Structures are given as structure tokens and as C-alpha cells.
Amino acid sequence: MSWAVEEWKEGLSPRVLQKIHELESQVNKLKKERQQRQFQLESLEAALQKQKQKVENEKNEAATLKRENQSLMELCDSLEKAKQKISHDLQVKESQVNIQSRQLNSSKKDVERLEQELKR
């Protein structure tokens, strides 16, 4: 089959044949270059898609972390309010204990005084 391809070149001058050979060589070189560039393009497109997927995954992770952070902040606020309430309740109870302790001491003194009076 290659002989049929070359048949059209019969009878051409050596200078024209040289030019045809140069052009064919250049065409082959350009085809190879195009294939290489096509491969590079496909590789770059694949890398781009991979990076886009990575960015999307990171955006999703960031959104998840943001929601988790918000939830934790709300939990912290809730715990802080509970702590303040418990602290206030503790202060109230300590105050009540102090009052009752003073009352107990006063009652003990009254009892001692009354016992002293009884002994007399």
C-alpha cells in the first residue's frame, strides 16, 4: 500500500521531493507534538478536576466544622449559664446555712443561759 502512496511523487524533481520530505517530516513532528500537548491537556484537566474535588471536599469540611463550632459555642453558653445558676444557688444555700448556723449558735446560747438559770 505504501507504494501507492509514494506513486504520486514519481517524476518530481529532487528539489521538490526534498521539500515534500521536509513537509512530511514537519507534519509528523507536528502530529507528535499535538499528541503530546493533547496528553498534557488531558493530564492538566484531570489534575484540575482533582483540585476542584479537593476544594469542594474542603468547603464541605469547613462547613461541617463551622456547624460543629457553632454547636459547641451554644453548648458552652448553655454550660456557662448553668454554672452561673448553680453558683448563685450555692451562694443562696451558703447564706441560708450561715443564717441557720447563727440561729443555732444563738439557740445554743439561749439553752446554755436557760440551763444556767435552772441550775441557780
Global model pTM greater than 0.85: no
Backbone angles phi, psi at 32, to 5 degrees: -65, -45
CA of residue 44 relative to chain centroid, distance: 25
Give start and end residues of each alpha helix (H) in the chain: 2-7, 14-119
pLDDT of 24 strictly over 90 = yes
What's the gap between Cα 27 and its chain centre?
50
pLDDT digits (tens, 9 = 90+) for 42-101: 999 999 999 999 999 999 999 999 999 999 999 999 999 999 999 999 999 999 999 999
Q: Residue 4 and residue 71: Cα distance in Å, rounded?
A: 79
